[in-house]
Amino acid sequence: MSVYIAKLFSYFLYPLTWVLLLLLLSVISLWWQKQRLAKLSATSSLLLLSVISMPVTSQWLMHRLESRYPVQAINDIQPADVILLLGGGIHGSAPPWRLAPDLNDAADRVVYAAQLYHAGKAARILVSGGTLSWKGVQQSEASAMKTLLMQLSVPESAIIEEDKSQSTYENMKNSQPILANLGMQKVMLVTSAAHMPRSMATALHNLPTHISITAATTDIRVVSIGDDLLDYLPQASGLAMFSEAWHEWIGWLIYRLKGYA
């Protein structure tokens, strides 16, 4: 529940929330007959919404994250003892509405982990992800990822489940004893490119120093910035990507402040 409360409070850190609050201030100002304040807040909300919903803005912000750990060709990646695959790319089953795991935009990470396994880059895959019970999900992300990995011809014996984590910080803390019990010395971290900076910082801060950590990045969202006139026009897709990138930047800052990374 503490994770849910954190997510609830983080809502007020998003620019879209600021847009709505400015609009609310504008309406209240009109009722109070404060015309100047109403005009200022309405204009500010319109400008802010326009900027954060332009794809070029979100592309730039997302690329700043994704470029920290560039994608490598699989053949160039050094082998490790285990692949640590973080949740976030797949939703567990939630009967009666969703009877099987459901993939989202970040599901590349699960497919990539299977590709790395089949390329002989690691003999085991540790899947880390718990259950978001407040959303009615009954299956953990770890279990859902395991199901998909097995469908991708990864043997069940090669998959280890960590099904308690509900955040990136918990991914690392809950994976640590598992890695220690298995005697793993080299970990290959697999997650989306935008999530990798916060994930690597958290792993380096929380996993034992004798464990070497390699970033295996996937799920690249931005391949060009502002190369189309449409990228400068406000769009719902731009706002959605901006929110994703902003979530990672805010998450990284909060983790630093709390000593998680």
Residue 91 has phi, psi (to 5 degrees) of -105, 135
CATH 3.30.1360.70 at 74-218, yes or no: no
Query: For the chain, what are the domain ranges?
Result: 2-66+236-258, 74-218
Q: What is the pLDDT of residue 136?
A: 62
Strands (E), the chain: 82-86, 90-91, 102-103, 124-128, 159-162, 186-192, 212-218
**CB-CB contact of 42 with 223 (8 Å):** no
pTM, two decimal places: 0.90
pLDDT reported for residue 102? 76
In this predicted structure, what is the pLDDT of residue 135? 62
Across the chain, which has 261 residues, the per-10-residue mean pLDDT values are: 68 90 95 93 97 97 96 95 92 71 85 97 96 71 94 97 93 96 96 97 94 96 94 96 94 91 82
- pLDDT for the residue 1: 46
What's the CA gap between 219 and 143, in Å, rounded?
21
